[in-house]
Every structure is written in C-alpha cells, then in structure tokens.
Structure 1
Amino acid sequence: MEVGQIAAEESREKIKEVLSGADMIFITAGEGGGTGTGAAPVIAEIAKKDVGALTVAVVTKPFLFEGARRRVQAEEGIEKLKENVDTLIIIPNQRLMDVVKKDQTLLDAFKTADSVLGQGVQSISDLITIPGLVNVDFADVKSVMTNAGSALMGVGRASGEKRAIIAANAAISSPLLEISIDGAKGILFNIAGGERLTLSEINEASSIITQSADPDANIIFGTTIREDLGEDIQISVIAAGFDSIRHFNPVSGPSNFFKPTPAEPKPIVPETVPERTDPPKSSPAGKYKLQHDEVSIEDDLDIPTFLRNKY
C-alpha cells in the first residue's frame, strides 16, 4: 500500500498534467492490494483539489477467501479515498457469489460484474452527452454527485407488458452494489425508449425509483427517445447523498436481480433540532463543458476486466 502511495506522490505533477482540463474524472481501483489502495487516494486528491473536477471513484473490495489482512487494507484504503472524492461507489467481489450460478465459469462471472459496472459508468456519460426529450446536463449531474459520499449507479433494461416496472427495479437493485436506494438525498434518472414509450410507463418507473428516497431529496428526471432500443425500455439511475455507507453481510444462494435490496433498520435517537434562523443559500447551477478522463489502476483480479482492457 505504501509503495503505491509513494509512486503516486512522486508522479503528482505528471498526474496533474494528464488530468488537467477535465470536468469529470472516474477513478477505478481494486482495494486491498498495494497499487490501487495506496495510489487511488493520491490521484483522487489531485483530481478533486488540484484540478477541480467532479471526482467519482468506483472500487472493488476483495473476496472473503483473500484473507482478513487484505480486507483490512481495503477498508483503510476506502476510508482515505472517501476524504478525496465527491462520490464513491463500492462493489464487493464477494457479492458475485450471490449472482452467478455454481457451474458458471470464472470468466463468465467476471463478465457479469463487468456488465453491471460498464453500463453504470456509461450511463453517467450518456446522461450528459446524449440529447433528450427532457434533457439532463452536466450541471444536473454535479448537483447530485458533488460531495455526495457513497452512491448507487445502475441500469435496467426490459421489454414486454411490464417493462417499465422490471427495468426500474433492475436499475435500483443490482446485487453487486453495496447500498440500496433507500434514504438517498439526491437521485438523477433517465428513462429511454422508442416512440411507443408512454407517459404511464414513465410514471410507473418514476414511482418505483423515488418512493424510497429521502422526502426532501433532490430528484432530477430526464427522458430520451431512442429508436435503437426497439421494444425495450432502458432506465439509468444515479442515487447519492446517503448518511453513511451501509455494509452487507455476504449471503449464500441465488438472489433475485429485480428484487430491491432492503435497507438496514436505523435506530431512532431522540434529538433536539435547533430552529433555522436564516434560510439556506443556494448558488445557481452553471453550464460546464464536459470532458472526462478515467484513471485505471490495475491491481490483480480486483479491478473489472472491461476497465483494464479499455485503457
């Protein structure tokens, strides 16, 4: 871990030069080893504080069989990373065991994870770059993801009579993600479909996505007509602003991909809330020119294949 950190520190100026000019930066890392765990926080600090970009980290946590030492290192790396990113998305590798079949090959198992991660990252880019009937721009993304902490991103696609309901549930309940949408204080989602996309379907999907959010959540909605989807409907969701990262214990047996992950119960703690004397101030959202770079940190099998190969 120290080796990765030292290497990144020594290359600080070069990293800053590479990232300079980007408005949004994705950092991907496999936590628990030396390279990703040590270098990712340094790169995140440069991206967010020096470059001033919206910084999103997508990291994996090690399998249980990799041992306690690696898990502890992963948690330490994640804590350091949280201090230097706007949004953090965590994928525990162990949750692959809940998704794949017992006879599924290792390569196919990783392809499953790749698909979820690839679609999630791509969905953020698509929200910004693809014009929509109800448009979402970079200012909207920033309003949800800036200093948001832990986050959920997902994509659901379905066809048939209940396609909107199925796609919405799939988008918010990926078994590979460590948190559910419950209690989110910021939600940005886009519904895409062909010309036969109906207002009723948009209403059904929107209700499922927003019903578990915080009552005062900042919700931003967009819709896109895409003939390439044919009879399918595709829903992209970004949810952020949770009170804390909620951990899940690995469970055995298959999971239902379309079944929402239940939120952990929170204890009710009485507290006195002082009255606000001055109304909160908000700054108007500006327009931004979008560029986004991805810094990919290779670390054994922890980092998804599609991110290793893409760059």
Structure 2
Amino acid sequence: MNRAAGGGIGADEAPYSYDGEEFRKPRIQVVGCGEAGSRMVRRLEKVGPSGADLLEVWDSRRGRGPGGGDGSAVGVGPRTDEGKADLEEALQGADLVFVLGGLGEGMKPEGAATAVCEMAGRLGRTSVAIFTVRPESREDEEGRRPGGSLSGGLAEAADTVILLDGGRVLEAAPGLSAEEASSVMDQVVAEILRGIVETVQETSLINLDYAGLKNVVGSGGLASALVGESGCEDGPEAAVRSALRNPMLEADLQRAKGCILTITGGRDLTLRKAAAIASALKGVLGPEAELVWGARLKEGHEGKVGLLATIVGVELPTDIRESGTGRGVMAARRD
C-alpha cells in the first residue's frame, strides 16, 4: 500500500500527557474516496498536515487520474481482496479516520466512502466523513431539491458527517465558477484537517485535547463548518462574528452537540486572546454544547487571527430536510 510522502507521514510517535497519564501520539488516517476525495488528498499533500497518513481509495483498482502529481498517494481498490487487506491494515492502526469525498448527482456519495466508514466501524475506529456539495448537485435535472440518497449507508456508517455546501461559497462570491467554488471548498477541507492535526500532534500555543475531540465527533450527527478571520487587535467578538457570517452549511447553533475550534495567529496571538475567542464562540452555542479548542502560531499571520469551527450535531437546512434527505444524516451515529 502506498502512503503519501511528506506531510509528516511516518512521523515518529511521541507520548503526550493527559490528566497525568501517558499516551502515544494519536494516529490520524485521512482517506480520499473517488475523484473529489482524491483531489482533496492531493491538496493536503501540498499544505502538508503533520502527523497524518494520507491514502486514496477508488471503487476499483486504478492509478491516479490526470494531473495526479508524483503518485505519492496511489490508491487501493477496496473491491479487490488485496485492496481490502491494504485498507484494513491502514484503518486498523488508526485512532481517528477522516473520510473525504464529494456528493454527486442526486446527493449520492462518490467513491468508496461508505465502505471505508463501515470498515472503520467494524474495527472500532471513530470515523468522520467530510463531504463537499457542488452547487449543481443541489438540484436534479428537473430543478427539484434532491431526494433521500444521503440517508443511506454513508450517514449510518460514519460517526459524524461534515457537509460543506458549495452554494454558500457562490453566495459569498457570486462571480466564481462552479469549479472555482469547488477549489475553495477543497482548501477549506485542507485547512480544517491541517488545523486539527497540527494542534493535536504538534506543540502549539494550546494543544487540541484529543480525548475531547474524539468525544465530540463520536457524539454523532451532521456537522457544519464556520470560517472567519479578523485583526488580532479587533477583539474576540469580531473573530466570532466573521465566522458566523461564513457558514459552509446553514445550521442552528443552539442545537449543536459540540464544537471543535482551531485558532491560528502570528506571534502576537497570546493565550489570553485565544481563550477570549473560544469563550466568545461558546457564548453563541447552546448551553449543553461541548467546546474543544486549540490554538497554533503560524509564520506570516502577524496582525490577524483565523478561526475554523466545526459545529457537530446540527440539523439539515430546511430545503434539504423537507426533501427527505435529513433522516439518515441526523441518525449518523453508531450505537
């Protein structure tokens, strides 16, 4: 099985401390499924999330498609015996599995995502599916909202399903083409994963609590993402307002079960400022929502603060829910 070279692949394990106990560094496996998922993996290879293993999975055995780069993450075909064995080996050693892909025509998951999530579940691994919805996928050929295809295996197999709606990108920047909107969503996926992986794996201003992270994503359901940025001196509420103006899926935050927040800033970002931003975001969530957050310093971010929040356990937007798509997603939790 070929893993992506670089980006922390094969990084040495190192213990970290939690409540006085020693644990090995958690291993995070990222699996791209189908055309969209493989494209996201290649984007991740470029930004280099430290400490994550990257893998492409196709429905059948095939090489990388056109523009596949140096082939450092050649996929496996889960419908072959050899491919299933390779995939199981990759998932068996993981603590947390992120499955990436896109929803195509009729809101159907592309690639082998459902099979990957089901295998992760059988192995007792927590899986998070991150799927993008292209704007043209939101309607069928007669202009109606899509039916209940998302309520099938993917929603039931994954612990949490994060949906990023391309329509939201086009609303914010109507001049973009569908392809450009997809590229923006791919970058958001890369930044979500990079933020989570780096604040778990690397020394950060404050590390993301891995136990809390698993608890939030294991709580199940649909998740949305908020993306924001403000000046470092603008105050915590400004960063939160910026993120609230840029949801990748409309959601009622008061009903959320939890939130995973990563904050990125330059050397002028202090622990006090980061904690104030986390507190401000907590204030807009429901009282029962669990907030897990971390903050990291990044070269070139002086004077500004970036915020990425994954809101877990929200409801589908009405236009999708009324079509019958929502039932399975809201039940996207394994007992």
Match of 1:246 in 2: 316
Indicate which of 141, 152, 156 corresponds to 2:224. Answer: 152
Indicate which of 158, 170, 186 corresponds to 2:258. Answer: 186
Q: Is the 8 A contact 1:172 1:237 kept in 2?
A: no
Q: Is the 8 A contact 2:266 2:304 kept in 1?
A: yes
Pairwise mapping of residues 254-265 of structure 1 onto structure 2 (< 5 A)? none
Indicate which of 35, 38, 45 corresponds to 2:118. Answer: 45
Match of 1:93 in 2: 166
Shift of 1:124: 1.8
Cα offsets for 1:146-195 (capped at 9, x unmatched): 14221233443322642643332333443432435332222232334344
Q: Is the 8 A contact 1:30 1:37 kept in 2?
A: yes
Check if 1:230 corresponds to 2:302: yes
SS of the equivalent of 1:136 reads coil
Shift of 1:78: 4.4
Alpha-carbon distance in structure 1 between the residues aligned to 2:92 and 2:145: 33
- Tell me the C-alpha RMSD between the 2 structures: 3.4
2:181 maps to amino acid: A
Pairwise mapping of residues 290-309 of structure 1 onto structure 2 (< 5 A)? none
Alpha-carbon distance in structure 1 between the residues aligned to 2:227 and 2:168: 18
Match of 2:126 in 1: 54
Q: Is the 8 A contact 1:158 1:232 kept in 2?
A: yes
1:139 maps to amino acid: A
Pairwise mapping of residues 202-221 of structure 1 onto structure 2 (< 5 A)? 202=274, 204-221=276-293
TM-score (norm 2): 0.60
Change beyond 3 A, Cα 1:117–1:70? farther
Tell me the number of residue pairs that the alignment of Structure 1 and Structure 2 aligns: 242
Alignment gaps of 5+ in structure 1: 251-311
Alpha-carbon distance in structure 2 between the residues aligned to 1:146 and 1:192: 25
Shift of 1:55: 0.7
Alpha-carbon distance in structure 1 between the residues aligned to 2:277 and 2:205: 17
Shift of 1:81: 1.1
SS of the equivalent of 2:253 reads coil
Check if 1:108 corresponds to 2:184: no
Alpha-carbon distance in structure 2 between the residues aligned to 1:197 and 1:25: 30
Q: Percent identity among equivalent residues?
A: 25
2:113 maps to amino acid: A
Change beyond 3 A, Cα 1:46–1:166? same
Match of 2:214 in 1: 142
1:27 maps to amino acid: V
Match of 1:28 in 2: 100
Alpha-carbon distance in structure 2 between the residues aligned to 1:31 and 1:105: 18
Change beyond 3 A, Cα 1:225–1:59? closer
Change beyond 3 A, Cα 1:60–1:196? closer
2:224 maps to amino acid: L
Alpha-carbon distance in structure 2 between the residues aligned to 1:200 and 1:115: 29
1:166 maps to amino acid: A
TM-score (norm 1): 0.64
SS of the equivalent of 2:94 reads coil
